[in-house]
Structure 1
Amino acid sequence: MSRFHEIKHRVATTFQRQVGNPLLRRLPNQPVLETTGRKSGVPRQTPVGGRRVGREFWIVSEFGEKSQYVRNIQADPRVRLRLEGQWHTGTAHLLPDDDPRARLKALPRLNSAAVRAIGTQLLTIRVDLDD
């Protein structure tokens, strides 16, 4: 990763962790992905942008395997997802062979634009919902 991308990643994740995520988690209609901390075992909640299609929920991570929630999924793919105020259980799958730029075209526009602008290592994630 270039120095520019490293700085971009550090600035974006610091902002998300300290400002964006705490605010977005409180919005009732904001999708929130809950993973289990790979070191702590504690639930970790991350606001995400994506779209439900049937029993699947699609996300594109802007920093791929550098994202903490992606690392948590690698350690334990069982997740919970808050959609429209209700929690659902499911299993997350990392899809490195999927075209994340094409996938973003089918996801909410505002979030997709932000992911394209900030992202350095896009990675598609599919959550198969149990219910």
Structure 2
Amino acid sequence: MSRYHEMKFRAVTTFQRRIGNPIIRRLPNQTLLETTGRTSGLPRRTPVGGRRAGREFWLVSEYGEKSQYVRNIRANPEVRVRIRGRWHAGTAHPVPQDDPRARLATLPRFNSAAVRALGTDLLSVRVDLYD
């Protein structure tokens, strides 16, 4: 990762962790991804922009394998997704063979634009929903 991308990653993730995510995750209709912390074992809720397609939920991680929630998924793929205020259990899978830019075109526009603008290492993630 270049020095520019590293600085961008640190600035964006610090803002998201301390300011953006705590506010956004309180919004009642915000889609949330709940993973289990790989070290703490505690639930970790992250606002995401994605879309349900049948029994699958797709999202794109802006920092790929460096994203904390992707690292948590690697350690324990059992997750929950809150969609329109309702929680759904599922199993998450990073999908590196998927084209994340093409995937963004199928997801909500505002979030997709932010992921394109801020992301440095895009990675598609599929959640197979149980219900």
Cα deviation for residue 5 of structure 1 reads 0.2
**Which 5+ residue runs of structure 2 have no aligned equivalent?**
none
CA offsets 1:94-129 (integer angstroms, 9 cap, x no match): 000100000000000000000000000000000010
**Which 5+ residue runs of structure 1 have no aligned equivalent?**
none
Tell me what 2:9 maps to: 9
Query: Quick one: which amino acid aligns to residue 81 of structure 1?
Result: V
Query: Quick one: which amino acid aligns to residue 94 of structure 1?
Result: P
Count of paired positions: 131
Under a length normalisation based on structure 2, what TM-score does the superposition of the two structures give?
0.99
Tell me what 1:113 maps to: 113
Cα deviation for residue 9 of structure 1 reads 0.3
Cα deviation for residue 90 of structure 1 reads 0.2
Tell me what 1:100 maps to: 100
RMSD: 0.5
Q: Percent identity?
A: 73
SS at match of 1:107: coil
Tell me what 1:74 maps to: 74
Q: List, as ranges, runs of 4+ consecutive aligned residues in structure 1 with deviation greater than 2 Å.
A: none
Query: Quick one: which amino acid aligns to residue 37 of structure 1?
Result: G
SS at match of 2:30: coil
Cα deviation for residue 18 of structure 1 reads 0.7
Cα deviation for residue 50 of structure 1 reads 0.5
